[in-house]
Amino acid sequence: MTNMRLTAAVVFSAVLFSGAAIAQDKPSVAKYLSEGYDVLRVEIGNPFLQFVLKKDKTLVWCSVQVQTGETSSCRTIK
């Protein structure tokens, strides 16, 4: 679990500081994390990073473009 959190922190730091992730009006991984969501899972695939986030009983799936750091979409899955 520690390795996953470290990987998520490194990946998220790259996404957060890319600029594109910050300047969005739509939901983003940064927005959910600032609201207290935890990263449950991160999958690295080209050209997207897939995040599963959790807060209480709510699960959210987000897809982020690797090259731009832009959140493509976020959906509540539970």
Are 38 and 54 within 8 A, CB to CB? Answer: yes
Its domain, for residue 38, covers: 2-76
Is the per-residue pLDDT at 56 higher than 90? yes
Domain count of the fold of the chain: 1
Is the per-residue pLDDT at 58 higher than 70? yes
pLDDT in tens, 4-47: 555 555 555 555 544 444 454 789 999 999 999 999 999 998 89
Is the per-residue pLDDT at 71 higher than 50? yes
In angstroms, the CA 24 to CA 39 distance is 20
- Whole-prediction pTM value? 0.68
Which strand (E) or helix (H) includes residue 63? strand 58-65
